Amino acid sequence: MHDHAHGRRAIEAMIRSADLGGLLRLAETFHGHLCPFVSLGVKAGQYAMATLDRPNTGMEEIVAIVECNNCFTDGIQVVTGCTFGNNALIFRDLGKTAVTVSRREDGQAVRLLVRPDYREQMFARYPTAEPLFQKIVVQRQGTPEDWHRFEHMWEAIARRELQTPLEEQFVIQHLRIDPPEYARIYDSVLCSRCGEQLMAPRAVGSPAQPLCRVCGQAHYYLLTGQGISEVNETQL
């Protein structure tokens, strides 16, 4: 059996050589900007992948279970290769900046949780950052010049934080988990009202007259910046 070239070969070389700067640049292209939490996601992902030592071709060899949907999760997706689209990213809506990365073949896993004092310690390392962060991000105020200054500073911190020892940023646990089931391929049906195709388990109505959840005015789950909630179309 020959080795297929796959899309993540370059990333895996970076993981093995602990090229955090290179991984952060890739994460920036995905996330859209640099910030300390995308940097933490990159570091957590690199540590977990180097520890588990299992290439991931996006076929669920590795699963990443994230407990938040924020900047951190984008660093995780880029480095681990477990994404929203390849079903290897599992979301536990707990609101903790944490990830468990697991090797499916034996359930070997690493969980990294950002330390509760991380933010305080980080701002202590960069004393000029906090007032600007308060003004720009928390109060959503500040002039365009403040914004510009903030962006530069935030990027610089993201890069510098790559050098902070991992143990100062994370609580690290090695564990074994039962990996989640593989993603399933479902049959499709056509909505009898709008004619759009959907996965059979999402249909409502009778088997003879299936409806999508929009036409059937049924509840469904919505993932937003607020987390997962159950909604129906009239609430959007």
| Minimum CB–partner distance for residue 208 and Zn ion (Å) | 15
User: Binding of Zn ion at residue 136 (CB under 5 A)?
Assistant: no
Tell me the window of 28-36, 100-108, 175-183, 218-226 that interacts with Zn ion (CB under 5 A): 28-36
State the number of CA atoms in the 13 A half-sphere of 236 facing the CB.
12
Site for Zn ion in 90-119 (CB under 5 A): none
Nearer to Zn ion, 48 or 71 (CB): 71
Nearer to Zn ion among residue 109 and residue 211 (C-beta): 211
Pick 94 or 137: Cβ nearer Zn ion:
137
Residue 46: exposure state from Cβ atoms within 10 A (0-12, 13-18, ≥19): buried
Q: How far is the CB of 100 from Zn ion (least distance, A)?
A: 21
Q: Which of 23, 24, 27, 35 binds Zn ion (CB under 5 A)?
A: 35
User: Does residue 65 bind Zn ion (CB under 5 A)?
Assistant: no
Q: Which amino acid, 139?
A: Q
Contacting residues for 5 by C-beta, under 8 A, at least 6 apart: none
- C-beta separation of 110 from 52 below 8 A: yes
Q: Is 61 exposed, middle or buried (0-12, 13-18, 19+ CB in 10 A)?
A: middle
> Footprint of Zn ion on this chain (CB under 5 A)?
35, 38, 71, 191, 193-194, 212, 215
